[in-house]
Structure 1
């Protein structure tokens, strides 16, 4: 599993992530995906969401739950690019329980890059595209 994802980040769960059933609530998984994707874009690809002429809008998301996690688990979040189009990217994410490596969830996000003002699709270019190519799944 770990070889399938090309970027990894460890994210600690928080006390408030647990729901009444005693496990991490499903909305937290989506937050983890969104956070790791955007952190990678900012830190690795140099994307500046506050000042860039384009922004990445999520047009599709999906999560499939495989096992429970609960505070104080750490979640290892793996990231790869499943498909890179002209103006869109399909991010694929795997989440493992840090304590034993069990697969907690798998999901995907599709971002379309659009002009900040017009909201019309624009090409993914420069360093952002170059770095995304490095994460392309084989």
Structure 2
């Protein structure tokens, strides 16, 4: 099964994730857990580099409360997976990231997924508002 690559305008940010030799499973394709790792890597790299998230000392941490992935086509090593990222919903303390994973070799959509993070106080683990530069950065990823 295959699906065409959506126009680049469908995602506000792109992140390339190279596959590794050990990402292939015994069936000869990239194992499903790698899709989740690629999504998590794209989100957290963006949060650190673009939104200023300090993963070691910042007052808030993003806790994944829900994730989903729908598989559309296979990928195999040595493929680079292009991950498109956008914000589907930005709430007071939560954000739902929407992602499209594409084979870089031919642009075929291999998976679509979403992650919902609730931002919580590092110590109490209670939800805190997404504010300031982080909220402004997330707002730039909202695609209507």
Shorter-chain TM band? over 0.9
2:95 corresponds in structure 1 to 89
Aligned to 1:76: 82
1:60 partnered with 2:69: no
Where in structure 2 are there 5+ consecutive unaligned residues? 1-5
Aligned to 2:120: 114
Q: Give aligned pairs, total.
A: 138
Superposed CA deviations along residues 66-113 of structure 1, whole A, max 9, x for unmatched, are 000000011100000000000000000000000000000000000000
Q: Residue in 2 aligned with 1:38?
A: 44
Unmatched 5+ stretches in structure 1: none
Q: What's the counterpart of residue 12 of structure 1?
A: 18
With the length of structure 1 as denominator, give the TM-score of the two structures.
0.99
Q: CA-atom RMSD, angstroms?
A: 0.5
| SS across alignment from 2:70 | strand
TM-score, length of structure 2 as denominator length: 0.95
Partner of 1:48, secondary structure, is coil
In 2, Cα distance between the equivalents of 1:6 and 1:77?
Answer: 11
